[in-house]
Structure 1
Amino acid sequence: MSQDREHGRDHGRKGTGGNGSLGLRAAASGRGAAVRVALTTPLVPLLAVAAVVLVDLTCGTSVIWLSLLAAGPALAAATSRPCGVLCVGLAAASAGALLGVRGDVPAGETAAVLSALAAVTLASVLAAALRWRRERVLAAVRSVAEAAQHAVLAPIPSRVGPFQVAVRYSAAAAEARIGGDLYALVPTPYGVRMIIGDVRGKGLPAVGTAALVLGVFREAAYDEPDLLAVVGRIERSLARNLGYDDFVTAVVAGYPETGRLEVVNCGHAPPLHVRADGRVSSADPDHPAPPLGLRALTGELPSLQVLALADGEQLLLYTDGVTEARDHGRSFYRLTEGLARHVCDEPTATLAALDAELQAHVGGRLHDDAALLLLRKPTEPDPVSAGPAGGGAPAAVPRAGAPAPDAGVGCGPLPR
């Protein structure tokens, strides 16, 4: 699971607040940067040269030991820039010449060793130059992937309409930073509308399909007053553009009025409903519908499911990359239990804890894209205690040390 994607990897740089990649991924990135700096300096190759010199001084000068000096520039080719490789090669050649003179090695044998060192150094410099060029190309490709991620999976603010929102996205291919999972949440004239889905397949075709679905959804969500009509628009677009064996599982939801949440489930994992007291239940569809793109094969129409979402309650939308994540013992991750353990009044903190537990469950590497989208309907302030605008009774002042209502602090588990 990275938008920490860990998109978050890792989204909105998958650790911006709760709607990016993982904070853990940022820490790991810092450690990785320190390791890369250590490896790109020629320290390790120079230590290898020093070790050969030490062995030669201890055991007596020999052509066999002198020939091992070539390990220095060869190792530098894999870790250092071309100039670093050249410096290591010069150091190895200088050490070889001094050891040859000190040990009375015949001039012909010393010349042969130095010639071999020069050849290995030149080849290593060329290899390092090619590697450095490939790394620059890879860095450019990564920047393009990040731009594509922001274009397809636009960052979601922490507050949309009446909801607190948090998002976590982790692509299975960590270097790609984007995959076949999709999500969006937009305010419209008909209330807040959202979608989360999973495209069949992987790679660039899946990313293209995800972009198609999100583009149609964002347009239809503003145009269509009925949520089923939004789903119909997506279905017709996919029918024109997908192959016969391609499809997209998705949950499309809308919040047209206070306390009323409309859900259309098209072959996707059911959302999890978190009550105000912390109880978690699965919002299974009353009449399951086929995935988007397969309606023509079954002729079955999706149905509208209505959920009551009161103040203080939450809704978690997710993809199967979360529930199908396995540990080394091949046991699935139990999302319902994990959500019950970590749910609190801050969606960002809830998803951070869930994502950390998921990464620990799989050993740090997901084998499928994973997305989490959590909504929370904050508790409305009491109008009596708040007092009328411009006068009337003053707002109630909390006692010293007490948090303000719905201040987003104290993210322990909710009372059971």
Structure 2
Amino acid sequence: MRSSLRVLRWLPFIVMLGVTLADLLAGQSLVFLPLLTLGPAFASVSGGVRRTAAVGAVALAVCVPMAIYNGLLFTWTNNLTLISIAGVTAASMLASRLRLQRERELASVRQVAEAAQRVLLRPVPRRAGDLRVALSYTSAAAEARIGGDLYEVVTTPQGVRLLIGDVQGKGLAAVETAAWVLGAFREAAYDEADLGDIGDRLEASLARHLGGEQFVTAIIAEIHDKEMSLVNFGHPAPLLILSDGELHAPEPTEQGLPLGLGVFETSAPKPQRIPFGSGDRVLFFTDGVIEARNAAGEFYPLTERAWLLGRDDPQEALDSLRMDLVQHTGGPLHDDAAMLLLHRP
């Protein structure tokens, strides 16, 4: 990224140097001086108003001695070239100003969206009951693409309950939908005795606020003494790491449709119970993790990298996995990636 920016900053001067050399090598039979207008035009792509004006001034300064060399000084041809350089420089300065204004507006929108998302996604507790909890959230770093990944961990009279999900779409609309889901879950997690009833509450809340074919994939889980209960609404299955290092991806025996599409489903999915004893770990994640691609188009091999989660400190383990994920893509992620790691010591 930085190398590309450096190339863009030097490109106007490289182009003007190339035009000058071409004009000198061609002699007086061919005149390339009108192409000096490319200098200020390229300068507006990456530079500010002053830099664009400076590049235009350099183009004019180069044009005059080259006109003398070609015997064109004070001719109509050269005067039109000078006027063209001045006109393109002025237009490029205006374009540069508008571009910088647009970039500032975009940065402001992104800051507001990220601030709203930070308020929405409260820090999860590092301990919940007898569990140690770790969290990783990586935003897609392209322009203002603020995503709708969501998570929550609460300790209720029924035990530790959690939610992880992914809202369809991007931007502030996705953040708003995530707010409705989290608000409904935070209330229902304390009020409802069954995970299926929590899912019904979320579905009813989304039915009032979502329109068209919008939906939210999610998993609702409840931790018991030696096992956990899961209800899956079209979300990627978690990765269970047993104390002996064995890996399991417990696919739901009865997977429901994503939240928001309940009108197409005749019955709600039933909770699935899986073992979760002492020393076990479970990783919940959104599809931004397993759909991250490298330069060759290969998906991130999460199960092959699960050994990174073996560190004693769950947060250090999850941070190492996140670092490996970013290294795999070799740059910004194309989608938000949320990961929630639970460890029962």
Q: Which runs of 5+ in 1 are unaligned?
A: 1-31, 379-416
Name which of 134, 153, 157 aligns with 1:166: 134
Supply the AA of the counterpart residue of 2:183.
Answer: G
71-80 vs 308-317, greater mean Cα deviation: 308-317
- Determine the structure 2 residue equivalent to 1:249: 217
- Determine the structure 2 residue equivalent to 1:211: 179
Q: By how many angstroms is 1:84 displaced?
A: 0.8
Q: Does 1:91 align with 2:91?
A: no
Q: Deviations over 1:358-416 (max 9, x none)?
A: 556667576655432221223xxxxxxxxxxxxxxxxxxxxxxxxxxxxxxxxxxxxxx
130-139 vs 368-377, greater mean Cα deviation: 368-377
Q: By how many angstroms is 1:294 displaced?
A: 4.2
- Between Structure 1 and Structure 2, the one with more helix by share is 2
Q: Does 1:195 align with 2:163?
A: yes
Q: Deviations over 1:7-40 (max 9, x none)?
A: xxxxxxxxxxxxxxxxxxxxxxxxx46754x367
Q: Does 1:152 align with 2:120?
A: yes
Q: Deviations over 1:28-73 (max 9, x none)?
A: xxxx46754x3675x4423433443444455545772322222211
Q: Deviations over 1:259-315 (max 9, x none)?
A: 443322233332221111211112333444444344454342333334443332111
Supply the AA of the counterpart residue of 1:311.
Answer: S
Q: Does 1:343 align with 2:314?
A: no
Supply the AA of the counterpart residue of 1:343.
Answer: L
Name the SS for the 1:276 alignment partner.
coil
Query: Cα–Cα, structure 1 residues 34 and 184, in superposed 2: closer, same or farther, change >3 Å?
Result: farther
Query: Cα–Cα, structure 1 residues 74 and 246, in superposed 2: closer, same or farther, change >3 Å?
Result: closer
Q: Which runs of 5+ in 2 are unaligned?
A: none
- Determine the structure 2 residue equivalent to 1:233: 201
Q: Deviations over 1:113-142 (max 9, x none)?
A: 212211111111111111111111111122
Name which of 99, 107, 112 aligns with 2:74: 107
1:8-87 superposed matches below 5 A: 32=1, 36=5, 38=6, 43-57=10-24, 59-60=26-27, 64-87=31-54
Name the SS for the 1:278 alignment partner.
coil
Supply the AA of the counterpart residue of 1:149.
Answer: Q
Name the SS for the 1:343 alignment partner.
helix
Q: By how many angstroms is 1:323 displaced?
A: 3.9
Name the SS for the 2:147 alignment partner.
coil
Separation in 1, partners of 2:79, 2:185? 72
Query: Cα–Cα, structure 1 residues 68 and 304, in superposed 2: closer, same or farther, change >3 Å?
Result: closer
Name the SS for the 2:270 alignment partner.
coil
323-332 vs 222-231, greater mean Cα deviation: 323-332
Separation in 1, partners of 2:54, 2:170? 44
Instruction: Please tell me whether the aligned partners of residues 194 and 253 of structure 1 are also in contact (alpha carbons under 8 angstroms).
Output: yes
Query: Cα–Cα, structure 1 residues 99 and 174, in superposed 2: closer, same or farther, change >3 Å?
Result: closer
Q: Aligned-pair RMSD on alpha carbons?
A: 3.4
Name the SS for the 1:192 alignment partner.
strand
Count of residues in correspondence between the two structures: 343
Name the SS for the 1:371 alignment partner.
strand
Instruction: Please tell me whether the aligned partners of residues 266 and 289 of structure 1 are also in contact (alpha carbons under 8 angstroms).
Output: yes
Q: By how many angstroms is 1:335 displaced?
A: 3.2
TM-score (norm: length of structure 2): 0.82
Separation in 2, partners of 1:162, 1:40? 55
Separation in 2, partners of 1:220, 1:271? 22
Separation in 2, partners of 1:298, 1:66? 70
- Determine the structure 1 residue equivalent to 2:100: 132
Q: Does 1:117 align with 2:85?
A: yes
Q: Does 1:281 align with 2:243?
A: no
TM-score (norm: length of structure 1): 0.70
- Determine the structure 1 residue equivalent to 2:143: 175
Name the SS for the 2:45 alignment partner.
helix
Q: By how many angstroms is 1:170 displaced?
A: 4.7
Separation in 2, partners of 1:258, 1:367? 38
Q: By how many angstroms is 1:102 displaced?
A: 4.5
Query: Cα–Cα, structure 1 residues 40 and 330, in superposed 2: closer, same or farther, change >3 Å?
Result: closer
Supply the AA of the counterpart residue of 1:86.
Answer: A
